[in-house]
Homo-oligomer: A and B are copies of this chain.
Amino acid sequence: MRTQNYSRKRQAIYELLMSTDTHPAADWIYNTLKPKYPDLSLGTVYRNLKVLEENHMVRSVAVVNGCERYDARMSQHSHFVCRRCGKVEDMFHKEDMSELLRCVTIAKDHDVESYNLIFYGHCSECLSAE
């Protein structure tokens, strides 16, 4: 992990991600912070997301319509992606998901570090809109 200065903007990006459960894309973060940080640039958002990701403070939970979606809640949970509106929702586990590993044939010479479980379908709003 490289030495870092915790800049105001990086802080702001991280705190924004911590404060929402919408799993936003870089673009949304940029637009949301822009009023408060008028000289913020999109490149900075991307650069900081990368740094935060390397530091395991943030993770990419899905790619929806070509956009990486981020989450600052690092405790293990899964996500639901609406195929219609692109919304990403949290799905918390009832049980310890290490159980999961027992369901799958894992080559023993592989080093499995993490996993990502995504459910797809239609959210309630989109269902009632149809």
A-to-B contact residues, CB < 8 Å: 63, 78, 80, 83, 89, 91-95, 97, 99-100, 102-107, 109-124, 127
Q: How many copies does the complex hold?
A: 2
Which of B91, B103, B113 has a CB less than 8 Å from the CB of A104?
B91
Counting chain B CB atoms within 10 Å of each CB, the highest count among A89, A91, A97 belongs to: A91
Nearest to A124 among chain B residues (CB) is B109
Contact A111 B105 (CB under 8 A): no
What are the residues of chain B within 8 A of A93 when measuring CB–CB? 103-105
A38-B71 Cα distance, complex, nearest whole Å: 44
A105 to B121, CA, bound (A): 15
Across-interface contacts of A83 in B (CB, < 8 A): 113
Q: A78-B104, A92-B104 are in contact. Are A120 and B116 (CB under 8 A)?
A: yes
Tell whether, in the assembled complex, residue A116 and residue B118 are in contact, meaning their CB atoms are under 8 Å apart. Answer: yes
**Contacts of A63 on B, CB cut-off 8 Å?**
63
CB-based nearest B residue for A126: B111
Q: Is the CB of A122 within 8 A of B127?
A: no
Kindly report which residue of chain B lies nearest to residue A81, judged by CB atoms.
B116
A94 to B99, CA, bound (A): 12
Whether A123 touches B110, Cβ cut-off 8 Å, given contacts A104-B92, A115-B117, is: yes
For this complex, 25 residue pairs linking A to B, each with C-beta atoms less than 8 Å apart, are A78-B104, A80-B107, A80-B110, A89-B110, A91-B105, A92-B105, A93-B104, A94-B104, A97-B103, A99-B103, A104-B117, A106-B119, A107-B124, A110-B122, A110-B123, A110-B127, A111-B121, A111-B122, A112-B121, A113-B120, A114-B120, A115-B117, A116-B118, A116-B120, A118-B118
